Structure 1
Amino acid sequence: MKVLILSGDYVEDYELYAPLKSLEMLGIEAHVVCPDKKAGDKIQTALHIVDGWQTYTELPGHPFELTHTFADIKLDEYAGLVVPGGRFPEYQRYDQRVLDIVKHFFDKNLPVAAICHGLQILSAAGVLQGRSCSAFPMCKLDVVAGGGKYVDFEAFSLNAHVDGNLVSAPAYPAIGVWMREFIKLLGVKIQL
């Protein structure tokens, strides 16, 4: 099984690395791509810290080496899509190629996991119409503008929301429950 992970410079560090490692742990092949970049190119991740200011602080995270070349992906090979947050959704939501990827997964009703600011890309792709989802609180207007119903979880809660093939969460503290629900949507059974 293969899962596609969208990324770009200043993707939230935790929201890229934790899903990637969760999928690898389960034997799921995860391909991380970024428009106009190829396998082996590096992107810069970011750590976003809420520290009492009116907005979050952004610090450099770990550099990340892309696993696959964006131009070479074949969408029909993937069972699901992960859209992390951070700052990259802010600019990639203007890239029609990224929007077409998102539309493909929704058209095929395949599992999609989006977290934090990742919902900005889904909103721009026009796939939230009539759906409910969570996102970072500052993205509520994006969700509503995209025709979605915003599910209001506290920003750093441990909640994820599932609506059909979409699992969403407000921010990185929810990665565990968010990925658990995504893995269920993929049909992966874990026996303890």
Structure 2
Amino acid sequence: MAGHDDESNMGKEETIPKDKAWKDLQIDKREKEMIKFIKAKKIKQRKENGNQEDTNSFGEIEFVGFDQITNKTAPYVRLDVDTDMKIVWELLVNVWRIRKPNIVISVTGGHHDIFFKEDRLKILLSEELYKAAVCTGAWIVTDGKSSAIMELVGDAIREKSQETREDEVVVLGITGWNVLLNNKLLENSCVSQ
């Protein structure tokens, strides 16, 4: 928009970097697929009063500052606890196009901070978890909360992914809706269109 009144810029269009435009098209296409899938499968979410309603909480979350060069986005959806696991699988593999795992590694932890007596134990755990996930083609599933062990997992995957510049490891965070701060910001009005 800038410079349209300036004669030196007349006829010149403002350009969007190709990778950004492509990324936006990909997100837009994925969002349309999500809406179609949600409607077709009649995916529900549970309201605070306990009743079910069509889900309106889905989209892309941007993890700002994921690395030095780009931000990381990931899809999310709010599902009712009674959602059929076949539908969840179809969503993950067919709609989100996450590769099928050979194994699933579940990492859980308490709400208490974990202090490693030696930094080398922390480094060893994070490096070996990453290696195990890459070598086996695993998904790492966490409770999606910000506890010490989850932060260790997140840091390990982020650091190793930055080193290799590839997204080799799938990490799924599964948590309760009421645990999320500002969860209303994750609601999407597009589903009713």
Structure with the higher strand share, 1 or 2: 1
Determine if the TM-score, normalized by the shorter chain, exceeds 0.5. Answer: no
Decide which structure has the larger Cα Rg and report it. Answer: 2
